[in-house]
Every structure is written in C-alpha cells, then in structure tokens.
Amino acid sequence: MDVMINVLIVVLAAAFLWTRFAPTKGVNSITTGQLREMMRAKKPGTQYIDVRTPGEYKGNHIKGFKNIPLQQLGSRSGELSQDKDVVVICQSGMRSSQASKMLKKAGFNNITNVKGGMSAW
C-alpha cells in the first residue's frame, strides 16, 4: 500500500511540474539573438511586453518594451490588441512563459516568449 501511495505522489508531482513548465501550445519561443533580429526588422504592429516588476524594468529594459507586470497582466490585457503579435520578456523566461499562457487563455493568438529573458540579453 505504501508503494502505491509513493507512486501516486510521484505521478502527481510529475504532472504538476509538466503543467507548470511545459511549453504552451501555440506560443512561439525565440532566443535573444532572434529578438534582436526581429527588432531590427521593425515589423509594424508588434507589441513588446516586459512582465517584470516596475523596479526591475526601471533598472534595465529594452527600448520599445512596455512594462506590464505579470501580476497586472490579467487586468491590463485590454491595453493590448489581440490582432497583433505580442512578444513577452521577463528576467529569466519563467514569468514570460506564465504571461504567454495567460494571454493564450485570454484569446491572443500570435504570442512569442523570449527564452532566457533579460538575463540572456
């Protein structure tokens, strides 16, 4: 019986980790190098969002990125157009991954997450 309980705990933990860290279906991922190329190309209508805290953003940010902290994204997603591409960045890629999932659930279709975030920039 103890073995079954241990197996169940491991399976539940693995499922939890998979849902938290697995890539979101329909969300693109790019490197910071690809982001540089994208920004040089200046594709019209692309929305660049930095989901770090205001303090982190103030300390260092990429010109052209709008600061909408992850905690406010749900209530401020109306500031973004669902018809345009959205590029999301954070410090390491974890919060931007969460933000990408939130935007996907909110009906956004063209979402790109920057892997490695500002740490890789």
- Catalytic site residues? 90
Give burial (CB, 10 Å; 0-12/13-18/19+) of 29. middle
Backbone torsion region of residue 45, taken as left when φ is above 0, otherwise alpha when ψ lies between -120 and 50, otherwise beta: left
Distance CA 64, CA 54 (A): 15
Cα radius of gyration rounded to whole Å, the chain: 17
Residue written as token pair 């209530």: 75
